[in-house]
Structure 1
Amino acid sequence: MSTIFRLPGDLHGVSGDCSFRHYGVCPMPVVSTCRSLFKSKASWVGLRCVVLSRSSRRRTISSRKGDANHPVRALFTGIVEELGTVADVGTVEDGFEMTINASVALDGVKLGDSIAVNGTCLTVTRFDDNSFSVGLAPETLRRTSLGDVVPGSLVNLERSLQPTSRLGGHFVQGHVDGTGTIVSMDKEKDSLWVKVKTSADILRYIVPKGYIAVDGTSLTVVNVFDDELAFNFMLVSYTQQKIVVPLKSVGSKVNLEVDIMGKYVERLLAGYTTRPAQT
């Protein structure tokens, strides 16, 4: 399979033995031409190498271990752009990978971009014209409901916020705080009431008329039931057609991310309450 190895300045060549295999950087065959020039770029290539397959046109990214210490920063609005379909979930070397069929989320996508999948910020590691793949860390599977998805599952997708984007929801980081369980789903005319039970650690940050991201969807909390460790929200007809929550059932898990402002306030106030009294 012929490949192109891209560097700044559109340097490229055709496939051969990778001159960086010695450095443990690139696991794939890359160029044989301009090898001396590529060796001079070893420090740059050590960050990540991008390979474009001519035959499949599927772009892939390979990073050295330790890149996780430098996470990609992203921000979302909680306005779902489309429902993607999980095509495959499986294991890869040293981890797990999920491939999702999509269309809107692929518009302008680049390797290393962040896409929120059911509210979880994930990094694009491969993509083609119809799908993209993301890596799943063990901590992600423990903290979120993504471990429950199977091929054919629908998931909420949102690309990261750009400086020119309109903020239609609220600031969502894609850092899931934990999961909740749907305990009731009740219709009221064409609207849908959903009640979710969660842990006390999460509920403490949820307030009536406040924001919460449920599977990455920016929603307004209606009521908080402290004695039940639960809260509810209402979905209008339009929203029901655009997100995955209405497709779930009682007992299903949802990803929850509370409004970050509550955490900041708690942290700041803790500093005052723990200060020693001044005399």
Structure 2
Amino acid sequence: ECGSDLAAPSGGPVTSPNYPSNYGNTEDCEWRITVPEGSIIRLMFDTFDTEDDIDFLSIYDGADGSTPQLQRLSGRQPVSPITSTSNMMFLRFTSDFSVTRQGFQFSYISNAEGHCWDPGVPANGNRDDNSTSFAPGQTVRYTCMTGYQLWGTANITCRTTKTWSDAAPTCEIPGTTECGSVLTAPSGGPVTSPNYPSNYDDDENCEWWIMVQEGSIIRLMFDSFNIEYRHDFLTIYDGASDSATQLKSLTGQQTVSPITSTSNMMFLRFTSDHSATRQGFKFSY
């Protein structure tokens, strides 16, 4: 539906109208989230795709649009969790009279002041503590299911700053070859082009988003790189999308020096044309 009042301590998924089909023209939707006093709210997005710089989701740190704005989101992007400073949050989504996209899907949780947020459980993994609220000094221990490799830190501890000592790890199949993914472990890899070490296909269009803990930066390291020269490209951006500063546009067969971001996000896009393929590439970060 187009807006609602949400009063449960946690909720979702909540979506834009018609999701996963496209939302309509001239939408004007408002959501108000209210949780128990003494708690704060964390908003988490599964997907976000609106008409870039035209259709917006604005998020406010309070009961209405007169309170401080936390984020104003537009375009296609991964969205890091957004946290309030009080027990209320207000969201407003508007679209113009033409061009629509799939929209967005979010959920939210709340937590008592002074505690760490639930760090989550990785897909294909487990943890030893299923609490939903974590006091300073409390440690969570992670393991992966058989056949999966743990990337990141196995044990993380809630600090007095209400943050975890590290991000939750991920559980990956060694040598992941899918065409794009969202990578959130503090370190990861190997990540490869499709079919690696066999040749990738014609007309590939793969996108990887790397997001690490705020305050950190990313170093990308390649073990191999071989794509069709001046026809197939891997482009690397210093941020969450292709609107960020371009760090490198790679093509051909070459040795690639480490590439470093200036923030906690990096975006990679690989494209191939309609003929002639090569082995591709393999990287870690």
Report the TM-score when normalising by structure 2.
0.26
Flag the structure with higher helix content.
1
Q: What TM-score comes out, normalization by structure 1 length?
A: 0.27
Structure with bigger gyration radius: 1
